[in-house]
Amino acid sequence: MLTTDPFQPIADITDESGHDDDKLHEECGVFGVHGHPEAAAMAALGLHALQHRGQEACGIVSMEDAAGDSFHFHAHRALGHVGDTFDAPGVVNALLGHAAIGHNRYATTGATRLRNVQPLFADFEFGGFAIGHNGNLTNAYQLRRQLVRRGSLFQSTTDTEVLIHLMATSLGGSVIDKMVEAVRQIEGAYSLVAMAKDMVIAIRDPLGVRPLVLGVLETPSGSTANIVASETCALDIIGATYIRDIEPGEMVVLTADGVKSLHPMAPKKSRFCVFEYIYFARPDSALEGRSVYAARREIGRELARESPAPSDAVIPVPDSGVPAAIGYAAESGVPFELGIIRNHYVGRTFIEPTDQIRNLGVRLKHNANRSMIEGKRVVLVDDSIVRGTTSRKIVQMVRQAGAREVHMRISSPPTAHPCFYGIDTPAKEELLADRMSVEEMAEAIGVDSLAFISIDGLYRAMGEARRDPANPTFCDACFTGDYPIGLTDRDDAERQPELSGLTEVRRP
Q: Which residues are catalytic?
A: 28
Amino acid letter for position 457: G
Cα(47)–Cα(345) distance, rounded to whole angstroms?
A: 19
Tell me the one-letter amino acid at 48.
H
**DSSP-derived secondary structure letter, 53:** G
Q: 192 and 250 in contact (C-beta within 8 Å)?
A: no
Closest C-alpha among 230, 229, 232, 268 to residue 249: 268
Please, which residues bridge with residue 314 across strands? Answer: 336, 379
Return d(Cα 264, Cα 434) in angstroms, integer.
39
Closest residue by Cα to residue 295 from 414, 412, 378, 465: 412
By the 8 A CB rule, do 296 and 286 touch? no
Contact 401, 429 (CB under 8 A): no
Name the DSSP letter for residue 504. G
- Cα dihedral 145, 149, 152, 155 in deg (nearest 10): 50
> Residue 426's Cα: distance from chain center in Å?
15
Q: What is the CA radius of gyration of the chain?
A: 23
**Is the distance from CB of 166 to CB of 182 less than 8 angstroms?**
yes
